[in-house]
Amino acid sequence: MQNRMLIIGTVITVVVVVVYFDRRAVHAELAELRHDAASNAERQVMEPPLVRVVSSPAPVRAAAEPLAAKPEPLATPARAEAREAAPHKPETPIEQFALVHDTLETAFASQAHDGVWAMEARRRMDATLLARLPVKSAVTSIDCRSTLCRIETTHDGYAYAREFVGQLLTPERQPWNGAFYTGPIAQDSRSGAVTFVTYLAREGVELPAIPDSSGDEPAAH
């Protein structure tokens, strides 16, 4: 029986060690490939292609034809790396907040009205947060449900919105000790005015979980 357990234990250890080293080897190979690709891309940048030296109508044609219309040659590691290295358009603050906004908006819409708490919450908000509203900021709407309050505000720009958010972060200026999310949902392209929405949870109640788009287990890291 003991021998059998020993054999099983050894087999498990061997399998685990083999898998571990296999993963390491794959990682090392990938790193090497990336390095090679980066070197190739660097060389391509440093050594301009002949077509750029020889005077030809090629650049004109390139400008006239959209890049997407060109047939894409087979992807090489160097090309893939070059694509990855190209600067991507960063997410705007509105886009960054979109997932949180969508999740909480749905949760808020599904909640029932709680007359007593909602009235008390509204009173406390008037006395604290809204009484000290920064200049060039205005409240568009306030609505409280069973465990959540939704506050929509407009600000003449992000600088004023930052002041408003700063108040939420200061415990003594918060209407009550509650978890919250706040962020921009729209911006006027001409005036620069931004619309913010804030979801403030009732004290002792957790905010609805935001889907973990990274696919990792929440709280694991």
Distance of CA 132 to the CA centre of its chain: 30
How many Cα atoms sit within 13 Å of 38 on the Cβ side? 7
CA dihedral 44, 50, 54, 60 (to 10 degrees): -60
Residue 88 interacting with another protein (CB under 8 A): no
Nearer to another protein (CB atom), residue 12 or residue 51:
12
Number of Cβ atoms within 10 Å of the Cβ of 121: 22
Residues 116-135 that bind another protein (CB under 8 A): none
Q: How far is the CB of 107 from another protein (least distance, A)?
A: 13
Q: Is 19 in the site for another protein (CB under 8 A)?
A: yes
Closer to another protein by Cβ: residue 20 or 35: 20
Residue 117 CB neighbours (<10 A): 15
Rule CB under 8 A: say whether 175 interacts with another protein.
no
* Of the residues 91, 102, 126, 188, which one makes contact with another protein according to CB under 8 A: 91
Q: Does 110 bind another protein (CB under 8 A)?
A: no
For position 87 contacting another protein by CB under 8 A, the verdict is no
Q: What does DSSP say about strands 194-201 and 180-187: parallel, antiparallel, or unpaired?
A: antiparallel
Q: Measured from the CB atom, is 4 or 70 closer to another protein?
A: 4
In total, the chain counts a number of residues equal to 221
Residue 158 Cβ, how far from another protein at the closest point, in Å?
Answer: 8
Neighbours of 200 (CB within 10 A): 25
Tell me the window of 32-40, 78-86, 148-156, 199-207 that interacts with another protein (CB under 8 A): 199-207
- Cα(75)–Cα(165) distance, rounded to whole angstroms? 46
What's the Cα-to-Cα distance from 8 to each of 13, 160, 214, rounded to whole Å?
Answer: 9, 66, 36
User: Helix 2-46 crosses helix 77-85 at what angle (to 10 degrees)?
Assistant: 80
Residue 206 interacting with another protein (CB under 8 A): yes
Going by C-beta distance under 8 Å and a sequence separation of 6 or more, which residues neighbour residue 56?
Answer: none
Quote the least distance from Cβ 97 to another protein, whole Å.
Answer: 7
Closer CB to another protein, 84 or 206, in the complex: 206
C-alpha 62/C-alpha 58 separation (Å) is: 6
Pick from 57, 66, 115, 171 the residue near another protein by CB under 8 A: 171
Task: By CB under 8 A, name the binding residues for another protein.
Answer: 2, 5-6, 8-10, 12-13, 16-17, 19-20, 23, 91, 93, 96-97, 99-100, 158, 162, 165, 168-169, 171, 177-183, 201, 203-204, 206-207, 209-210, 212-214, 216-221
